[in-house]
Structure 1
Amino acid sequence: MSTVAVVGTGVIGASWAGLFLAHGHDVVATDPAPGAEERLRDALEDTDRLRFVADAGEAAAAADFVQENGPEREDVKHALFAVLDEAARPDVILASSSSGLLPSVIARGCPRHPERVVIGHPFNPPHLIPLVEVVPGRETAPEVVDRAVAFYTSLGKRPIRLSREVPGHVANRLQAALWQEAYSLVERGIATVADIDTAIAYGPGLRWAVLGPFLNQHLSGGAGGLAHVLAHLGPPTEEWWRDLGRVHLTPELAETLVAGVDAELGGIGDDQLVAARDAVLNRLLAAKAAQPDLP
């Protein structure tokens, strides 16, 4: 059993804490927000092995692994990681849940040991979604990445290891590409917010939840597989790429998107939606785990 420091206990941090506790680790948590400890304990079922401290340095000093979940601001990250770098043992990995900042930028706050800084970006909610993107910075030691991947794997996660850093990592960049066209289709009046959600959730999204985009393309090619798809559908796909919309998130467009979501929900509360989503996710993950032929 080891001790994991959870620095920042908002939605992501609380979910991480629950996962660490569920896998037998002790958790020492910290968050400067008023009422943070009460909210965290309310969110977790088992808090016997949870300790909450006021200072991030105290949490890091007690930890064998640090998972940071602070605001997505360089100045905040630098100040926070300076504290973590000073307090944590030299062998302790400092992993950030940052969804887009480069680890080399975050590591500027660690003058003592920048080689132990790595991105460990989860997908919300981390206690359910298996993906973790492990991203090294320019000074990150390879063995730190190895250890981070091994640790996340021991939690039942499915980590991917990026060979180099890029803004937004991998999954968020893929999402951003989809959002760009989705927003553009709404802006141009081609489809509503609800139509686009239906198109994904009841179309390719169902297949994407089982297999990724490349394997789905491979299966759609029949006996010829991906090679057949690329040979026969590659040219029209390139034409579609050239026709994809460029969009600016203006206040007017933001208002349209928000109104579209409100209309689509039709009074369904966020708590209801989260509970329904998580119930389906649990069943889906169990079904996938029972299929040994799925990669």
Structure 2
Amino acid sequence: MSPTPPPSVRRVACIGAGVIGGGWVAHFLARGYDVTAWDPAPDAEDKLRRLVTAAWPALEQLGLAEGASPSRLTMAPTLDEAVADAEFVQESAPEKLELKRDLLAQLDAATPPGVVIASSTSGYPMTDMQTAAATPGRLVVGHPFNPPYLIPLVEVAGGERTDRTAVEWAAEFYEAAGKSVITMDRELPGFIANRLQEALWREALHMVANGEATVEDIDTSITEGPGLRWAFMGPMLTFALAGGEGGMAHMLDHFGPSLKSPWTRLEAPELDRALRDAVVDGCDRAADGRTYAQLVAERDQGVIDVLRATGRLDGPAR
């Protein structure tokens, strides 16, 4: 799709230099890329360089690529100049659908043929954003998490008119750029992580509104509870361990009926055989051959390491 193989990309254009766009700039600089940025705000360059300066100490702790330097940032005076020699484009404009449509169409017209253009949208499907572009096949979603220079995850998805090769190219590029990538097989409004965050957020608001829990209660329930495990073992594998040696199969067969209990304001899906088998098989793949005892040991050590790293347990992490 792109004239440059993903591992060989050296110049990236970042369009939009706010919190998310600036975070992308910092990340790409730390990975040793030459970055050209553009933002229409008159004070954009000053704000962007301050953001990069503020992020750099954290990036140094994470480890800089060879040749990484803030001096490899160039601020272009126009959008066309910003993408003129780009080998990849990351768009991070405000979350307004019409703005995204128009901007992606402009980027498509100005960017060299074949170069993949990714949007940092946090919720819009690419199908809705690519309608005005002349060559929509190279437009993908590359949804990061704030700050992009610190949080590894990026979710990659195409739209109805996106070429699959563009999705695959983008996923390979992000991996080469040091990101942890989920390549989605289909479009889903809000993608995966935001939908999970949103479910938790809505239930939290219900509890506060109904006087069922305070803000402090809710935050403590996560930071001192499941959040400790989620840092290294997601909710699905965590629940599988709750099934003991029987794993997720036992968990679902034993606790499945509780899905009908009114524990949340979200309606539970029907736990039919197909859903049960999909979840059990997925957990088996995630375990990747590790035994129940091995998974328990990993979980326990992980919680201890997180507690020590966050100053809640004395002694050095292993």
Fold similarity call, TM over 0.5: yes
Q: Does 1:50 align with 2:79?
A: no
Deviation (angstroms), 1:25: 0.8
1:244 aligns with 2:244: no
- Partner letter of residue 92 of structure 1? V
Residue 300 (structure 2) aligns with? none
**Structure 1 Cα separation of the partners of residues 221 and 261 of structure 2:** 21
**Contact 1:21–1:27 under 8 Å retained in 2:** yes
Q: Percent identity?
A: 49
Aligned to 2:90: 67
Deviation (angstroms), 1:173: 0.8
SS in 2 for 1:231: helix
Instruction: Note the C-alpha offset of 1:198.
Output: 0.6
Q: Aligned residue pairs: how many?
A: 249
Equivalent residues in 2 for 1:252-271 (5 A)?
Answer: none
Structure 2: distance between partners of 1:238 and 1:28 = 53
Aligned equivalent of 2:116, options 80, 93, 114: 93
Deviation per residue, 1:26-58 (Å, 9 max, x gap): 000000112110111122244211110122222
What does residue 35 of structure 1 align with? 43
Contact 1:6 1:66 in 2 (8 A): yes
Give the counterpart of 1:83 among 103, 106, 120.
106
Q: What's 1:7 paired with?
A: 15
The letter of the residue matching 1:203 is G
Contact 1:80/1:109 (<8 A) preserved: no
Q: CA deviation at 1:240?
A: 3.4
8 Å Cα contact 1:185/1:245 also seen in 2: no
2:51 counterpart letter in structure 1 = A
**Unaligned stretches of 5+ residues in structure 1:** 247-279, 285-289
Q: Under a length normalisation based on structure 2, what TM-score does the superposition of the two structures give? A: 0.75
Q: Which runs of 5+ in 2 are unaligned?
A: 1-8, 54-68, 268-305, 311-316
Distance in 1 (alpha carbons) for counterparts of 2:228 and 2:218: 14
Structure 2 equivalent of residue 271 of structure 1: none
Question: Distance in 1 between the 2:190 and 2:109 partners?
Answer: 27
Q: Distance in 1 between matches of 2:136 and 2:242?
A: 45
Spell out the pairing of 1:76-225 with structure 2 (5 A cutoff). Answer: 76-111=99-134, 113-225=135-247
Partners of 1:90 and 1:131 lie apart in 2 by 28
Match for residue 25 of structure 1 among 30, 33, 38 = 33
1:180 alignment partner, SS class: helix
CA shift, 1:109, in A, is: 2.6
